[in-house]
């Protein structure tokens, strides 16, 4: 029996663990894939207060060391179900665990294009976060894949910094706001590549370009690039909890800034929660809120 089980060992989950442990609670953190979360893929983090620059991997390692030094237990396991009650049961692919409170910090995954070598080139020209990585491409040639608000906002952000930005969309019209599109069309360094899909990524150890195919004409063209920013949506990792936590239409946990769900003693934190901004800073903020909320819940029992 643990006081708190945290699902997800990313910045939100590990921050929640740190706050709960400092309040004297026992904590088990369950992670199905990568200790440290998606931030470990970022070669350089420069927008986290207190650090001019730190690698995502180093930041994650610091969080893990801090949590484990305080007494956190971290195990590799995939959670498949949570059973509610005065005592919560967390069922994984390898066993069952009991606790008084659960924090879901399962995160969300950037939707990928599904191209060969895409994973291999992450951090070597391929990025899923313009705000995180755009500064590294100042004065260079980049492309944005996508047609929604996120893609248009990324293209605007990058056009202020990069020499040339191509925005590639599979349809002939954008899904994003007309206002954002108008801003882009007023920029002299933005090219619109419509009705087109990316067929392949070029380059050996580093991205050097892409091959784009027009869906209507079948014509293919190569675009030399320094960077490709993929903005085709995110996939929250909340499927195993759909029967116990209310999800919005996009699959995010429908909880407010207090991180509380409809089930007493179950909280959500980080990128898996419904919110407008998903950054490293907001993830750790959620972790602090959820960790303290879980502590207060246990103390009230």
Rg (CA), the chain: 21
Q: Decide if 259 is catalytic.
A: no
122 closest CA partner among 36, 210, 40, 221: 40
Q: Which residue has the tokens 């801003």?
A: 183
How many residues comprise the chain?
A: 301
Q: Decide if 129 is catalytic.
A: yes
Q: Decide if 271 is catalytic.
A: no
Do 145 and 155 meet the contact criterion of CB atoms below 8 Å apart? no
Check 3, 99, 129, 154 and give the catalytic one.
Answer: 129
Do 135 and 163 meet the contact criterion of CB atoms below 8 Å apart? no
CA dist., res. 68 & res. 31, Å (int): 14
Q: Where are the beta strands (DSSP E) in the chain?
A: 2-7, 27-31, 73-76, 79-83, 88-92, 96-104, 108-110, 126-127, 141-145, 164-168, 190-193, 196-202, 209-214, 220-224, 227-230, 234-236, 266-268
Check 3, 65, 99, 132 and give the catalytic one.
Answer: 132
238 closest CA partner among 219, 254, 225, 251: 251
Check 3, 133, 226, 271 and give the catalytic one.
Answer: 133
CA dist., res. 6 & res. 103, Å (int): 5
Enzyme catalytic residues: 129, 132-133
């Amino acid at each position: 029996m643990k006081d708190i089980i945290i699902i997800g060992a990313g910045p939100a989950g590990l921050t929640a663990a740190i706050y709960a442990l400092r309040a004297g609670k026992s904590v088990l953190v369950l992670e199905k894939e990568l200790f440290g979360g998606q931030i470990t893929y970022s070669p350089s983090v420069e927008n986290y207060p207190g650090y001019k620059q730190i690698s995502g991997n180093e930041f994650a390692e610091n969080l893990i060391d801090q949590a484990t030094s305080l007494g956190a237990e971290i195990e590799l396991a995939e959670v498949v179900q949570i059973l509610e009650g005065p005592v919560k049961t967390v069922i994984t692919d390898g066993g069952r665990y009991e606790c008084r409170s659960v924090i879901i910090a399962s995160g969300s995954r950037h939707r990928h294009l599904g191209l060969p070598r895409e994973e291999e080139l992450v951090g070597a020209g391929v990025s899923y976060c313009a705000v995180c990585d755009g500064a590294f491409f100042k004065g260079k040639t980049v492309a944005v894949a996508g047609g929604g608000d996120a893609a248009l906002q990324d293209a605007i952000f990058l056009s202020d910094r990069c020499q040339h930005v191509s925005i590639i969309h599979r349809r002939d019209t954008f899904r994003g706001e007309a206002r954002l599109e108008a801003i882009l069309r007023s920029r002299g360094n933005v090219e619109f590549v419509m009705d087109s899909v990316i067929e392949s990524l070029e380059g050996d150890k580093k991205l050097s370009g892409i091959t784009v195919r027009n869906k209507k004409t079948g014509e293919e063209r190569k675009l030399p690039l320094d960077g490709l920013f993929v903005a085709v949506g995110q996939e929250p990792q909340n499927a195993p909890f759909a029967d116990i936590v209310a999800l919005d239409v996009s699959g995010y946990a429908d909880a407010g800034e207090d991180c509380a769900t409809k089930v007493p003693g179950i909280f959500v934190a980080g990128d898996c929660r419904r919110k407008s901004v998903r950054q490293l800073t907001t993830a750790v903020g959620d972790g602090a809120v959820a960790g303290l909320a879980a502590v207060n819940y246990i103390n009230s029992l």
